[in-house]
Amino acid sequence: MGTIKARNMMERLKVYYGWAKIGNVRKKRALSVMFENEKQGCRSDRGQRVLRTIQDTIIERYQTKEEENEGRKQNRIFTEYSLFLDEKPINGSLDKCLLINSESDRNHVSKAMRDKISEALRKAFLLANPGYKEPNSQLSLHLE
């Protein structure tokens, strides 16, 4: 019974969370979320090399059935979503970036897993950016 479950997990597509690598093509800091669209190309040496070139992967999870069905309709091996740290509405706020990412995952991922993803991304970002401080601007209006 355990081997059947392990085989089913191997057949499922993954989501990779990480920070975009900055270089000649990418000029801005961004949270990068990469969805596999088909297993053969993504998990090959070439697919993994592409993933390592695009982002520093911090944490990964398996896609839900709904996410997999959407991914299989695509004509590429990865689909990427990015949240740019230094653009509106984030304006340099790591907390705001992680909150937006968590909110976008809420229909597919449990609260515990979203917290685990956010914490792993936060630790990796702070390790790579030791002098980072949250901006002092008001990010939202609280009316009482």
DSSP line for 4-22: HHHHHHHHS-EEEEEEEPP
Residue from 74, 76, 75, 58 nearest 15 by CA: 58
Domain boundaries, the chain: 2-128
| Alpha carbon of residue 88 to chain centroid | 19
pLDDT value, residue 120: 98
Strands 55-62 and 78-84: unpaired
Write out residues in the chain with pLDDT < 50, as ranges: 5-7
pLDDT value, residue 140: 63
Could you tell me the pTM of the whole model?
0.85
pLDDT value, residue 107: 92
Residues 6+ apart with CB under 8 A from 66: 108
Q: What percent of the chain is predicted at pLDDT more than 70?
A: 88
